[in-house]
Homo-oligomer: A and B are copies of this chain.
Amino acid sequence: MPLNSIRIVLVSPLYGGNVGSVCRAMANMGIRDLALVDPQVSDWREAEVMACHAGDILANRKTHPTLAEAVADCVAVVGTTARQGLYRRHAKTAREWAPDLLALAGRGPVALVFGREDRGLLNEEVLICTHLVQIPTDNAYSSLNLAQAVLILCYELFLARGSYEPLTEKSTLAPAEMRAQLERMWRQLLLDIGFMEQEKADHMMAGILRVFSRGALTEDDVNIFLGIARQADWARRFQQR
């Protein structure tokens, strides 16, 4: 059941009512795993009221200090964005991604990540994401309420499940933690070899991770690119001129 592997991750939500409404929307679409990153909620009563008959999802929520920890075991990390900046250019719509995300969810936990009500996701949080999803809206008012955004994604996955067929690929998908290691090692190497300057590093790493994340990276894939970084570092240090 791939929907059991879908995790809704709310980054620093501000309002209890929104968190409760998210729980109800999740329950409506058969998704039950809720994680909060550093929540700023003061009124949890409001969350319980709005959760309505989905209080169990609220009660069973996990809380983490950082996004990296909330998604450490996830084979795909799906960021939601309304903005269209540099880091967000390869976003697809919820409907376009849904079949891919369900297929991934058959192979490990998949996180759907939603930003703060007022500011969305920060660029450093977007860098953790393997997929970016956009919800089509009218240009005149593109900012969806948090629970509404969660509903649309859950709804698309719920409907896409109708035609879900499990993938046959054997190898294990790389968890977020392993991909983070890949990002760190490559960033360091590319700085060390003088490929990029420190102030351009985020930008360049976004371009590189974008390529790595076009498909699901397996552990084998990641190991290859970790090995390349190690060997290139060795070569620059010790190889004969």
Show the binding face of A for B, using Cβ within 8 Å. Answer: 21, 24-25, 27-30, 52-54, 84, 89-93, 95-96, 134-138, 140-145, 147-148, 151-152, 155, 158-159, 164, 166-167, 169-170, 189-190, 192-195, 204, 207-208, 210-212, 214-215, 217, 220-221, 224-225, 227-228, 231-232, 234-239, 241
Of all chain B residues, which has the CB nearest A142?
A: B28
Q: What are 6 A-B pairs at a CB distance below 8 A? A: A27-B138, A89-B170, A134-B167, A195-B227, A207-B221, A211-B211
The copy count of this chain in the complex is: 2
Of all chain B residues, which has the CB nearest A150?
A: B148
Q: Is the CB of A137 within 8 A of B90?
A: no
Q: Is the CB of B158 within 8 A of A138?
A: yes
Cβ-defined partner of A207 (8 Å) among B214, B224, B241: B224
Cβ-defined partner of A235 (8 Å) among B89, B164, B170, B192: B192
